[in-house]
A and B are shown apart, each in its own frame.
Chain A
């Protein structure tokens, strides 16, 4: 089966850097995605790693290492508005499924 593990909660202060890890067990996948969801809102797409390495989008970066079955989301220069839940997800091979499989999410709390 497929499973993705994330820490349930992370706390940090404004201006800091935080890394949210995602470890997975999967038989094969196309890539690893990250989503942000504020309370009461829709999940929104942040980044996608199809290949190993680092992808940078503004203050957010995402990393994938298939050999280590591991990825992370790096948030820099944290702001209060970054307080939200963050989900990693994999796009499985068709033999396993046809839609993203999500982790349980990490709640990030940013304080001043």
Chain B
């Protein structure tokens, strides 16, 4: 496989459930990101990891918990979510954080989350 792969593509969960989103990149990149995309809103940055270390947490509620066990994998653990958390969650990677030199992020197809 190549690129950035996200699973599951679709997820429906109740407010009391616990679930996880998974992201895997096969590009040898050092930085990985979680973005949230809601209708009529810009892509909102949630978390940034560089070499498996979290470098930015963009005021995200604690019901979202990221995990980066190695430079190829990124998880977003979800618990006690609210209906307003329903959105498309996009994972991305880049060679270096920013990315400053190229401006190029590689995105996965996203996980469409619905919270009932």
The interface of chain A, by Cβ under 8 A from chain B, is: 4, 30-33, 35, 41-45, 48, 50, 87, 89, 91, 97-105
Contact = CB atoms under 8 A, between A and B. Distances in A.
Given A30-B100, A43-B107, A99 B41 contact: no
Interface string B27-47: 000000100000011110100
B98 A91 contact: yes
19 contacts: A30-B100, A31-B103, A42-B108, A42-B109, A42-B110, A43-B43, A45-B103, A45-B104, A45-B105, A87-B42, A97-B56, A98-B55, A99-B45, A99-B98, A101-B45, A103-B42, A104-B40, A104-B41, A104-B42
A32 B102 CA distance: 10
- Interface band, chain B: 20 to 34
Contact of B56 (A30, A32, A99, A102): A99
Q: Is the interface of B mostly helix, strand, loop or mixed?
A: loop
B67 to A, nearest CB: 18
Contacts of B90: 42-43
B50 interface: yes
Given A104-B41, A104-B42, A41 B109 contact: yes
A50 B107 contact: no
Given A43-B107, A98-B97, 15 more contacts: A30-B101, A33-B104, A41-B109, A43-B90, A45-B106, A91-B98, A91-B99, A98-B98, A99-B56, A99-B97, A100-B45, A100-B105, A101-B45, A102-B42, A104-B40
B48 interface: yes
Contacts of B108: 42
A45 to B, nearest CB: 4
Residue of B33, B43, B102 with most chain A CB atoms under a 10 A cut-off: B43
6 pairs of A and B residues whose beta carbons are closest in the complex:
A48-B103, A33-B103, A42-B107, A102-B43, A30-B100, A102-B42
